[in-house]
Structure 1
């Protein structure tokens, strides 16, 4: 998964990566040349007292060091830019793909997990790309080049490399192998913390209303403690890496000096060559350590890449049509024909054999008990989810054959829980029509009975709206969502219990103002209060996902026991008053 993700999204950056490799090669070769020059100064300059040779060789060392510095800085700069661009592209790809998900896929992953995957997980892979550009190229060059250059200085001490390098690699490998499960578990723990935090922030009013702050605090503390414990376990293993590295480095240094001193005493090697050999051995071990660090990052990045690719590989259950219908005359007609919908794995369908037609210029109300499938029914029309069988037709064409933009252009949806985005009143209303004028926005607000409170705001249309609309009341949020749909002037209006937060007077005024606006449109409204839909042209009664009655209010009172029971219950409780 990791290789696939890198191959796909790093393809546009082959040239910068090639430049990084070239710079790393030149810089590493320069660093490999420095110990030899240092050995020459000691053995040929200091030993002979040749000051001129020392100065000349020292000058070459300065030039080589300058080349190494310039290459290192340029490689890090290009590598950082490439890694940042890679992260940007992956985040954009995940965001665009999630935007095509239906409600089913979003519910499957969950919003907190999707956020974690598009931020933390992508960041981990991005860091791996950066470190690979900086270290992964240099490590093998330094290892191989260090061995060659060390053998040039003295073959007799080469057995120390044969011992030190495998010991270091094996020790670090054992530590990293035990860290992999911890990395995988850590990402799951981060998901849990994000989920709990998001629930508590979103539901803060409910938490306070039921005095559940201590419980929620304990719940977050438990999730946070699990993440901390997992991070500590993994961190403790990671803390073993430096002692292992330093132990091998120090023991190797002592061994080189111990056995090298004997060879110097025997005249088999010069002091400068021994110094160079020690430096090359340190470079080789440091290269092994860099490669091991990279290997330590790979398991976590692999886990993160798997989670990102899982999102990218998940196809939406709402499949765009292969040959979409785009040229369709507007008729504002809606029909549900033998519609059936069942969630995957569910024992029973939510909707079954639902059929009714909404003619242009008419209003159809959908009523029923809790869990009857009213919201699911409305979700089928704009293809938030697709029918299991049957068909939903807009202007005579199956919505699965319509181009998505063409379908959504014809529909104005006010969901059961209206959501406002951070910005202003105007920016939220213009989601329905980006080209709407201020006059059109005020007209929509007036119909939605929202003009008064917007005019009362000091900034008017430019009044700020917090994320989710938390700085306005529930009723104001509903009216702004209705105004947003009105700005669009669609052919089909879908109101999913969109008047529940309004008092009866505001509800009546709003519905009266809606009638002339929706004269030529098809209107479907889900309602809980029967008193607000008694004048509907058609009322569809759902029970257990099936249609048990279709007709006007008076007809259903006589012919539909379920509807009569709903009316009677509301009259008893005063809801219909």
Structure 2
């Protein structure tokens, strides 16, 4: 019940109105359908038996009216149910997506991307279908079952006792099969997650697949996963499909019993022919209602697994959130780490950063050098609170980053990630992510500073050039420069460049560094790099190794005092890096 409340709490008022209206018109449809067989008995027993055509026409007109009203109620019920369920799924997807946007990196790590996609699509569709069934069939079928049973007892109580045997037997069998199928549907949805993971990875890495001629192997992997989904579906549904023959057995057994006992009653005069015909109509209504209820059980079983998976996302508590009464302004670009330790796994003591302490003044340029896996990116991720330090303090603008609202902090810190991410749309639309209100002049200035203006202007559509998904029609260096320009448009107090010039040549990189120095003199610049030439002009350089700072100072100081830095510099000189001195 708490799960249902959770996923319906934000349903808009107009959809609640349609949700309430749908059962009402469905009940109206049942009432008119229930009256029709009763009128039929009057026509047969009173009109036809007495050969009174006026009576037949009068009661027949009433039957036609009931049919029309029943049809109208059914049509309105279908419309109201569709509108309500579509609104429900719209709100639920919006809730899920908004919740995911609140997640920190550690929260996202709990779910695979493919799993979140499945939950936002397949699981929501399953719940939407059940929602529509509940507000339509869940009211119609029990009401029809009750009304039909009451009318059957009214016509002939002795004959109606046939239902007292068939209905409980059928209900127990349906409930047993549905409950047993739940765990199998849960497994099936997990197989869907795996299938979506393979599709996602293959589409994103299609160029790698082509380059390594792994198409056939990827097809085999997909086939294996698709087979696993099919087998899981069969395993789940082979229980459900057993409901159909059980239903048919009960239905035909009940009809045969009614014909047998009802026929005897007609022969011996204790029941009229019209009453038997009407009784059979109620039998059909009752058994049809039972089949509808069985279908509801099946879908509820499937949706129960989907509801659980949806609630797992909604119940996920964001690890990082704005505090009460947060600070809304970052005073300057100063950064300070005080005895900071960090672990991706809480409580296990396996720190990837240990005892990090340093301070950066506003406007300084700082370089960070270290081997692969030395936690350079992890360190800078703590500044905009993409992760929170396990212990110690991270300060920005003189205050602990936990004191700021996330929006204020992250608007003051621009990060150019290691992996360049661009979105479908034009170049200008991507640049406006940095500042939605930026003027054309500001966009052009940022692109010049990032050394991106020349290649943008070389395109026929210039800033209106449409980028493919992820910027596939740009080179790696062009994407990096666009990402730098996008970050500069934020006019940040702290700019973090995470190995974001690795795909450009050293001459271009030097132009970018010089432009940043002139354009953003008051912005604190933190540069993570593999090349010494990228950071040698920095005010201070930190050398990281195994999550610890093992050296800091200027380029010249580190050449004298730090063995690792000196060895890296010499190796790059040997490889012919002209800018290394």
| Residues 1:28 and 1:400: Cα distance change in structure 2 (over 3 Å) | same
Deviation at 1:174, TM superposition (A): 3.6
* Structure 1 residue matching 2:474: 3-state secondary structure: coil
Partner of 2:493: 491
Q: Does 1:340 align with 2:341?
A: yes
Distance in 1 between the 2:3 and 2:52 partners? 56
Which stretch shifts more, 491-500 or 104-113? 104-113
Check whether the contact 1:39–1:276 (CA below 8 A) recurs between aligned residues.
yes
Distance in 2 between the 1:203 and 1:559 partners? 43
Deviation at 1:144, TM superposition (A): 1.1
Q: Does 1:296 align with 2:320?
A: no
* Structure 1 residue matching 2:366: 3-state secondary structure: strand
Distance in 1 between the 2:111 and 2:329 partners? 36
Deviation at 1:6, TM superposition (A): 4.8
Distance in 2 between the 1:205 and 1:14 partners? 48
Which stretch shifts more, 262-271 or 13-22? 13-22
Partner of 2:22: 20
Deviation at 1:10, TM superposition (A): 4.7
Deviation at 1:348, TM superposition (A): 2.0
Which stretch shifts more, 199-208 or 550-559? 199-208
Partner of 2:181: 179
Partner of 1:213: 215
Which stretch shifts more, 516-525 or 336-345? 336-345
Distance in 1 between the 2:481 and 2:268 partners? 95
Deviation at 1:327, TM superposition (A): 4.5
Deviation at 1:451, TM superposition (A): 1.1
Distance in 1 between the 2:448 and 2:406 partners? 30
Distance in 2 between the 1:208 and 1:377 partners? 35
Check whether the contact 2:182–2:304 (CA below 8 A) recurs between aligned residues.
no
Check whether the contact 2:340–2:392 (CA below 8 A) recurs between aligned residues.
yes
Deviation at 1:164, TM superposition (A): 2.0
Partner of 1:92: 94
Deviation at 1:338, TM superposition (A): 1.6
Q: Does 1:305 align with 2:307?
A: yes
Deviation at 1:315, TM superposition (A): 1.0
Partner of 1:156: 158
Deviation at 1:118, TM superposition (A): 1.3
Distance in 2 between the 1:140 and 1:532 partners? 73
Which stretch shifts more, 426-435 or 230-239? 230-239
Check whether the contact 1:364–1:537 (CA below 8 A) recurs between aligned residues.
yes
Distance in 1 between the 2:37 and 2:126 partners? 36
Partner of 2:427: 425
Partner of 1:260: 262
Partner of 1:138: 140
Distance in 2 between the 1:439 and 1:244 partners? 74
* Match for residue 520 of structure 1 among 519, 522, 529: 522
Distance in 1 between the 2:362 and 2:384 partners? 17
Distance in 1 between the 2:254 and 2:285 partners? 12
Check whether the contact 2:368–2:535 (CA below 8 A) recurs between aligned residues.
no
| Residues 1:188 and 1:325: Cα distance change in structure 2 (over 3 Å) | same
Distance in 2 between the 1:190 and 1:562 partners? 48
Deviation at 1:257, TM superposition (A): 1.2
* Structure 1 residue matching 2:385: 3-state secondary structure: coil
Distance in 1 between the 2:118 and 2:7 partners? 19
Structure 1 residues 486-536: Cα deviation after superposition (integer angstroms, max 9, x where no partner): 111111100000000001121112212221012111000100001221111
Which stretch shifts more, 288-297 or 163-172? 163-172
Partner of 2:551: 549
TM-score (normalised: structure 2)? 0.96
Deviation at 1:159, TM superposition (A): 2.2
Structure 1 residues 356-386: Cα deviation after superposition (integer angstroms, max 9, x where no partner): 2221221000111111110001111111111
Partner of 1:387: 389
Deviation at 1:18, TM superposition (A): 2.3
Distance in 1 between the 2:345 and 2:324 partners? 24
Check whether the contact 1:2–1:302 (CA below 8 A) recurs between aligned residues.
no
Which stretch shifts more, 28-37 or 231-240? 231-240
Partner of 1:317: 319
Distance in 1 between the 2:321 and 2:439 partners? 35
Deviation at 1:206, TM superposition (A): 2.0
Deviation at 1:36, TM superposition (A): 0.3
Structure 1 residues 81-102: Cα deviation after superposition (integer angstroms, max 9, x where no partner): 1111111111111111110111
* Structure 1 residue matching 2:525: 3-state secondary structure: strand
Paired positions, count = 576
Distance in 2 between the 1:439 and 1:14 partners? 49
Distance in 2 between the 1:348 and 1:3 partners? 39
Distance in 2 between the 1:102 and 1:574 partners? 41
Partner of 2:104: 102
Partner of 1:352: 354
Partner of 1:230: 232
* Match for residue 467 of structure 1 among 466, 469, 472: 469
Unmatched tracts of structure 1, length 5 or more: none
Partner of 1:66: 68
Partner of 2:407: 405
